[in-house]
Amino acid sequence: MFASIKSKIIALNMIVLLVTSSMAVILTAWQSKSLDSLMEKELAVQNRQQLEAIAKDVFYMCRAQDEALRQKLEADMNVTLSMAESQGGLSLGTEIFEWEAINQASKEKRKAVLPQMLLGGLPLKQNFNKSIESPLVDPIEKLTGSTCTIFQRMNKDGDMLRVCTNVEAADGRRAIGTFIPAFLESAGGRDSESHSQACLGREKLCRLGICRQ
């Protein structure tokens, strides 16, 4: 009988011990899962904060670069205007010139009949050869290190034709005869980038007194 009671007490203790151990294991697992979830959320917050900081740094860097480029563009433009004026200024002559104008976006060709552009009363020749110096644009590149183009407005829409430039085409020649369209027909309407460039060129030409409707 004594042995039977002893066995029951041992069995009861074992049961209590097993239940306690099981609860401890379950509690530990739950806490571990809760801790993992908390750590995961904390890491997600930290990653998001780091990404936001990186994005802000990139934004500020791009903005600073944009401001620097705009300032250089304005300075180079002032040098160009000053040099053009010192050489007698740009104007339009009475002689009519025919261009085979190439849309730089669509590569479509069209004829453009325009008054000849003059610098200091002398005509700007159609110079495709990079080894032969073009007036104004080449000296500007030597002074500022920037490419330079003299645009002429082609029509009322505001398409801008390169009549003198040191920008190279794909074949290595000067890209005169190409034009920046004010509208892109393939896009079904006004293209903001090309139109803004055309407006900028038109504004500068108007400052030189050669803007024509």
For the segment 112-168, what is each residue's pLDDT rounded down to a tens digit?
Answer: 999 999 999 999 989 999 999 999 999 999 999 888 999 999 988 889 999 999 999
Chain-centroid distance of CA 62 in Å reads: 10
pLDDT of residue 27: 58
What is the predicted pLDDT for the residue at 198? 43
Phi-psi category of residue 107: left, alpha or beta, with phi > 0 → left and psi -120 to 50 → alpha: left
Mean pLDDT of 13-21: 59
Locate all alpha helices (DSSP H) within the chain, ordered by sequence. Answer: 2-86, 137-144, 192-207
pLDDT band for position 40 (cuts 50, 70, 90):
confident
- Most distant pair of Cα atoms in the chain: their distance: 133
**pLDDT tens-digit series, residues 43-64:** 778 888 888 888 888 899 999 9
The 10s digit of each residue's pLDDT in 63-110 is 999 999 899 988 988 998 899 999 999 999 999 989 999 998 889 999
pLDDT given for residue 109 in this prediction: 93
Question: What SS3 class is residue 140?
Answer: helix
- Mean pLDDT (the chain) is 78
